[in-house]
Amino acid sequence: MTSILREKIVGPTAWKGIELSKDDSWVYYLTPKMIMALEEALRFVQQKGLKAPNFKKKDFPISNLSAEVSYFVNELENGKGFLVIRGLPIEKYTDEEVSIIYYGLGLHMGIPVTQNEKGELLGHVTNIGNTSNKNVRVYQTNTHLPFHTDLSDVVGLLSLRKAKSGGLSSLVSAVTVYNEILEKYPEYLGLLYRPIYFDHLGEKMPALSPIFSYYNRKLSCRYMRGYIESGHEKRGLELSKVEIEALDVIDSILHDENIRMDMMLEPGDIQFANNYTVLHSRTFFEDYEEPERKRHLLRLWLAMPNGRELASNFSRRRGIPLRT
């Protein structure tokens, strides 16, 4: 049974950007040994004539990196909830080879889940459309992407190419947001535990879910204001004044420069984040004109082997259902 947590959470999950920006404890630097192992697995896939995402874990053998993979998986669930893997010599590889390395690593961390109704397992984050087209999702444009959580245990991004300017990746600890609400706005806590309508992609009608859930000694968060607003619009319901106030409080904390963590994902950087403990965003960016130079990231949504237990009213999301 879920309950309302009325004590601040302390530990690695309750981080603030202003503190983490002073060190690189959240960065994992690839060693020559690990790069060699990834390249050997890449060649194994290529010898079989396979491409991402059309191969399985056994086709990308990196058993000698089990300790490193276990560290990543544990850090995402029990540590800070995010990490950046840095040092992949991306200039050595084609985009296809990078996608094999990235997808292969993801297969050893968890199970890729679908990112759209077409069943896409390896997403391409590029600026392909205009904002007036409702079929174009926000991540496919160059506009500001509001803070949100995705429909999987973990989200991963690998940078192939960065923008001409802008396009910073921003992260916020959902635990820190909760601690701030508990300290400064406790009157909204009960409301944020109450199920509210979310407009989930791939589902015909918005479904109920609380924004915060405390279950089995772990705090989880689900949030994207735009989907909450469209969820209520589809249900023919108006958000109450106090609900709007509560969402405004969350947004004000998310944009606090002392709390959020801004970073530029350089080509070859891989960022993983736990969707229950970390919210992510992206700033506006200006792209290059040449198609081959445009900002391009690869995305994974993973179901994790050590994924937390969730309360019955805070159902686990494993990707977007296929269109039937």
pLDDT tens sequence across 120-134: 999 999 876 654 444
Q: What's the whole-model pTM score? A: 0.94
- Going along the chain from its start, the domains and CATH numbers come out as 23-303 (3.60.130.10)
User: 50-108 pLDDT, tens per residue?
Assistant: 999 999 999 999 999 999 999 999 999 999 999 999 999 999 999 999 999 999 999 99
For residues 66 and 115, what is the distance between their CA atoms, to the nearest angstrom? 27
118, pLDDT greater than 50 = yes
